[in-house]
Amino acid sequence: MYKDRFLGTDPQSLPLARELYEIMRALPILSPHGHVDARMLRENEPFANPVEMLIKPDHYITRMMVSQGVSYEKIISGDPKEVWNIFAHHWKAFRSTPSRIWLLETFDSLFGISDVDLTKRPEYFYDHIQERLNSKEFLPQELFRSFGIEVLATTDSTSSTLEDHAALSSLNLGGRIIPTFRPDDVSDPNRTSWMASLAQLSLATGEDCKSFDSFTSALRNRRAHFKEHGATATDHGVLSARTVDLPLEEKENLFALLLSGNFQAHEAERFRAVMLFEHARMASEDGLVMQLHPGSLRNYDANFASEFGADKGFDIPLETHFVNELRPLLDAFGFNPNFRMVLFTLDESTYSRELAPLAGAYPALRLGPPWWFHDSLNGMDRWRESVTETAGYYNTVGFIDDTRAFASIPVRHDVARRFDASYLAREVARYRISKSDAFELAADIAYNLSKDFFHL
């Protein structure tokens, strides 16, 4: 592959971009927000085939194939070689998408394939990759060692025992695998599994969870359990960033109403807003970094979710607001030295209007990088151009891969580092920062910002 890919084409800034990239690529990978299955890493079984490794875990890939008329059932249940051929047939649909970039990088870095023409030789690629997957160096733990990962955070439900993490902590993998507390299952009463999740929380903690006070005590118990297993952050996927602070009596009454099952949609929405505030309160107490990513209408296609389950790629962005919604939370915790929050969005219109000014004012806030549909070269460029003038670099955190596709982690970070090297070199060429500034920023963006803010 072209060695200067994504470093820009300006002959004036390209030499500096190369220097900056070399600084970045030498640094270990920090992945404080991801969704790789800890059990997969613990069990360390070979990947069954190229489809299991590269296609099924990546929602970007499966949703694009579905959009082209491919049956999702065929993708998840069909003969792997047939699925691979279908994927190769639709390879052209990925042109100019980040998925294509990540796949090309993965093919090159892991399998030594540089002439990737899937439409002409799909069987060759399948067999070549399968042969490599059968070798010891492609076991998950060996790949982890080879990827240069210093810290990999997973995402784990409220009542998870974290037994996989306990087992992984005793292994010498060259880096740490830590959990992340994801309490969405007990924070949203509109979920069909809400009552079952409360019962699991009660069983895990010994709290009866029949009052709001008992419920929040149980959550504090679980947060402590996660911290004991290495967690440094929580993760909150919500429809809205709205926060509400209520007196205890009103919270108890609202919780009792929800437990009765006789509630309206606005009451469930109010509870979600209350819970965001309460999670922030708990974060200010125990220091876990609160990651907030609102604005995704999850499982948009009801029939698809009913047939195949949640989180299969049918998540659609919504218009999202932060200023009024976060004001109660920031009034209470925005200057609390023990409170830290990272804000993500799918609504690019908020970058310069809401997010950059908020992060540029409150010491508790940092901006997460482009997320989901926008973690692309174009998306990263729009984000940097929109937020840097107001928030600077040091009110952001480093790259977030946010992926279940284990094999793509190093290439996603590499692509982001190449983009940032190009961006910094361009800023020097525009006389907005000095060359020495750029060298310092290269290490900070690629490594130090995440290491510091996420307590890694």
Q: Give the model confidence (pLDDT) of 225-260 as tens digits.
A: 999 999 999 999 999 999 999 999 999 999 999 999
Q: What is the reported pLDDT for 265?
A: 96
- In this structure, what CATH number is given to the domain that contains residue 353? 3.20.20.140
Same domain, 165 and 78: no
Q: Write down the mean pLDDT value for the chain.
A: 96
Same domain, 311 and 382: yes
Residue 24 within any structural domain of the chain: yes
Q: What is the pLDDT of residues 72-86, one digit of tens each?
A: 999 999 999 999 999
Same domain, 24 and 102: no
* Residues written for the chain: 456
End position of a domain, from candidates 138, 165, 187: 138
Q: What token pair was written down for 70?
A: 């491919």
Could you tell me which residue, 120 or 393, shows the higher pLDDT? 393
- Domain hosting 248: range is 14-43+146-453
CA 329 vs. chain centroid, Å, equals 23
Same domain, 206 and 233: yes
Q: What is the reported pLDDT for 181?
A: 98
Same domain, 200 and 154: yes
Answer whether 0.85 is exceeded by the pTM. yes
Same domain, 114 and 154: no
CA 276 vs. chain centroid, Å, equals 19
Residue 29 within any structural domain of the chain: yes
Q: What is the reported pLDDT for 310?
A: 75
Exposure string for 354-370, b = 16+ CB within 10 A, e = fewer = bbbebbeebebbbbbbb
CA 86 vs. chain centroid, Å, equals 28
Same domain, 258 and 397: yes
Residue 398 has pLDDT above 90, yes or no: yes
Q: What is the reported pLDDT for 315?
A: 86
End position of a domain, from candidates 138, 157, 178: 138
Residue 240 within any structural domain of the chain: yes
Residue 174 within any structural domain of the chain: yes
Name the residue among 368, 379, 272 with its Cα closest to residue 329. 272
Could you tell me the sign of the dihedral formed by the alpha carbons of 22, 404, 218, 277, in that order?
positive
Residue 397 within any structural domain of the chain: yes
d(CA 443, CA 440): 6
Same domain, 25 and 53: no
Residue 202 has pLDDT above 90, yes or no: yes
Residue 3 within any structural domain of the chain: no
Q: Are 258 and 208 in contact (CB under 8 A)?
A: no
Q: How many domains in the chain?
A: 2
Same domain, 105 and 253: no
Per-residue HEC secondary structure of 177-246 comes to: EECCEECHHHHCCCCCCHHHHHHHHHHHHCCCCCCHHHHHHHHHHHHHHHHHCCCCEEEEEECCCCCCCC
Residue 116 has pLDDT above 80, yes or no: no
End position of a domain, from candidates 105, 138, 171: 138
Residue 4 within any structural domain of the chain: no
Instruction: Tell me what the mean pLDDT of segment 418-433 comes to.
Output: 97
Share above pLDDT 90 across residues of the chain, in percent, rounded to a whole number: 91
Instruction: Tell me what the mean pLDDT of segment 293-316 comes to.
Output: 84
Q: What is the reported pLDDT for 115?
A: 73
Same domain, 35 and 75: no
Residue 7 within any structural domain of the chain: no
Instruction: Tell me what the mean pLDDT of segment 35-45 comes to.
Output: 97
- In this structure, what CATH number is given to the domain that contains residue 107? 1.10.2020.10
Same domain, 118 and 157: no
Q: 307: pLDDT confidence band, cut at 50, 70 and 90?
A: confident
Is 157 strand, coil or helix? strand
Q: What share of the chain is helix, strand, coil (3-state, %, to 5)?
A: 55, 10, 35
Count helices and strands (H / E) in the chain: 23, 11
Q: Are 176 and 149 in contact (CB under 8 A)?
A: no
Residue 446 has pLDDT above 90, yes or no: yes
Same domain, 114 and 182: no
Q: What angle do CA 233, 350, 184 make, to 5 degrees?
A: 35
Instruction: Tell me what the mean pLDDT of segment 190-199 comes to.
Output: 96
Q: 314: pLDDT confidence band, cut at 50, 70 and 90?
A: confident
Share above pLDDT 70 across residues of the chain, in percent, rounded to a whole number: 100
